[in-house]
Amino acid sequence: MSGVVLKGVTKKYGPITALRTMDLRIEEGEFITLLGPSGCGQTTTLRLIAGFIDPTSGQILLGEDDITDLPPRKREIGMVFQDYALFPHLTIKENVAFPLRERKSDPSKIDQRVSELLDLVRLPGVESRYPSELSGGQAQRIAVARAVAYPPRVLLMDEPLGALDLKLRETMQIELRRIQQELRITTVFVTHDQTEAMTMSDRIVVMNDGRIEQIGTAEEIYDHPVNAFVADFVGRINLFDGVLVGRDQDQSVVEIFGGVRVKVAGSPSEEEKKLCIGIRPENLELLPSDVGATQANVINGTVVGRTFSGNLVDFYVEVGNNQPVLVEVPAARRSFEVGDKVQIVWGAEAGVVLGAD
């Protein structure tokens, strides 16, 4: 097992740049997720590590070894594909044994290894079936078993859960994480589902338009996004464009909506005048308009929409002529109707300052 290092890796397709000088160090045994909208370069990164495509420039290291020019079969990598890519004409046993046979394992030990692997993915006894006889979740487990059969130095997963329904996807997230922890295997996981990324990963690499926007743990990225793209892509957030108008101790005073002044903890490093502040909808609170508010920031508005999702209620509150502000309230709390006049209140520490786009 080994870590993976990308050194200034660039991939161009003619005039189109799919990946811009990517530098990334993946630690040994780490579960790292490349997260971003489809086509942002995450799959390109994965295919570069696999060796299906060659970088235009840069270097890829596996442990201490430079694998940039090595063909895929010599990289000792395991991979789980979108839609699994199980061999339809081979039985489950032959599918799982494929890497063992191709990598010349001792034939007398193959049967035992296959049954160990099926135990690992908790699907024993399916050796003689064919992939078409498996459900999506089962096929997924077999794809994992095949990928780790001949212990790979790195495990790559390309949106492996995309084809499953929500309930199964949640189960498989936990299963994949368990298997990864059991084997302590370096894993690179690609997804565009931020919940998936947050529940499974040690670290998340948020990517956009062929470059890395931010690298960090789920908490770091959720609580301290470095820019509006990350804040918006990971979780839900209200973004307000504003102008820095002053300082109040360690707080910044920002004018938004062309006149409303709000306070935000911290201050932009440079003297940027234009900036963007982001506030997660669960950090906002709603009060009736006739109650005196004690929080640092108060804006008056009107409820223009509400959606109920079981444990939560989303309120859309219109403030002036701007895009409605999203406020997330636990369903048990007091409720408002569409048309009610309300106050949106929040503390200065609830918002984050982001650079303007």
Partner 1 sequence: MRFSRHRSTRLLGRLCFYAYCSLSYIFLLSPIVVVIATSLNGPSSTSEASFKFPPENLSLHWYWNIPSAQLEALGLSFGLALVSAIFACLLGVPAALGLVRSNLPGKALIAAVFRAPLQIPSIVTGIALLQLFYVIGDATGFYWQGTLLGLAIGHIFVATPFVVGTVTAILQRFDRRLEEAAVIHGATPWRALRRVTIPVIMPGVYAGALYAFMVSFGDVPIAIFLTAPGFVTYPVEIFYALENDFDPSLMASATLVIFICLLALLVVQKAVGLDALLKSGGTGSTR
Give yes or no for residue 99 binding partner 1 (CB under 8 A): yes
Binding positions for partner 1, 145-164, rule CB under 8 A: 146-147, 149-150
50-58, 236-244, 272-280, 342-350 -> range binding partner 1 (CB under 8 A): 50-58
99-107, 219-227, 277-285, 305-313 -> range binding partner 1 (CB under 8 A): 99-107
C-beta of 79 vs 276, nearer to partner 1 = 79
SS3 content of the chain, % helix, strand, coil (to 5): 25, 35, 35
One of 14, 16, 64, 89 touching partner 1 (CB under 8 A): 89
Instruction: Output the smallest distance, CB 60 to partner 1, in A.
Output: 14
C-beta of 86 vs 207, nearer to partner 1 = 86
Other CB atoms within a 10 A radius of the CB of residue 273 amount to: 11
Amino acid residing at 34: L
Instruction: Output the smallest distance, CB 180 to partner 1, in A.
Output: 18
- Using the Cα atoms of residue 21, residue 147, residue 27 and residue 205 in order, give the sign of their dihedral: positive
Give yes or no for residue 88 binding partner 1 (CB under 8 A): yes
Contacts of residues 75-78 at CB distance under 8 Å and 24 or more positions apart, as own/partner, are 75/50, 75/51, 75/153, 76/150, 76/152, 76/153, 77/49, 77/50, 77/51, 77/152, 77/153, 77/154, 77/155, 77/156, 78/146, 78/147, 78/148, 78/149, 78/150, 78/152, 78/154, 78/155, 78/156
Q: How far apart are CA 244 and CA 322, in angstroms?
A: 19
Buried/exposed code over 210-239 (b: 16+ C-beta within 10 A; e: otherwise): bebbbbbebeebbeebbbbbbbebbbebbe
Beta bridge partners of 250: none
SS3 266: coil
Give yes or no for residue 77 binding partner 1 (CB under 8 A): yes
One of 54, 66, 102, 357 touching partner 1 (CB under 8 A): 102
Q: How far apart are CA 50 and CA 300, in angstroms?
A: 54
C-beta of 142 vs 345, nearer to partner 1 = 142
- Using the Cα atoms of residue 154, residue 115, residue 160 and residue 87 in order, give the sign of their dihedral: positive
One of 41, 78, 235, 242 touching partner 1 (CB under 8 A): 78
Is 4 exposed, middle or buried (CB count within 10 Å of its CB: 0-12, 13-18, 19+)?
buried
Give yes or no for residue 348 binding partner 1 (CB under 8 A): no
Instruction: Output the smallest distance, CB 133 to partner 1, in A.
Output: 16
Q: Is residue 44 within 8 Å of 64, Cβ to Cβ?
A: no
Give yes or no for residue 56 binding partner 1 (CB under 8 A): no
C-beta of 83 vs 318, nearer to partner 1 = 83
Instruction: Output the smallest distance, CB 314 to partner 1, in A.
Output: 35
C-beta of 120 vs 317, nearer to partner 1 = 120
C-beta of 50 vs 61, nearer to partner 1 = 50
Which of 52, 38, 192, 346 is CA-nearest to residue 204? 192
Give yes or no for residue 72 binding partner 1 (CB under 8 A): yes
Give yes or no for residue 130 binding partner 1 (CB under 8 A): no
Give yes or no for residue 79 binding partner 1 (CB under 8 A): yes
Give yes or no for residue 75 binding partner 1 (CB under 8 A): yes
Instruction: Output the smallest distance, CB 193 to partner 1, in A.
Output: 20
One of 8, 87, 246, 323 touching partner 1 (CB under 8 A): 87
Would you tell me which residues interact with partner 1 (CB under 8 A)? Answer: 50-52, 71-73, 75, 77-79, 81-83, 85-89, 98-99, 102-103, 146-147, 149-150
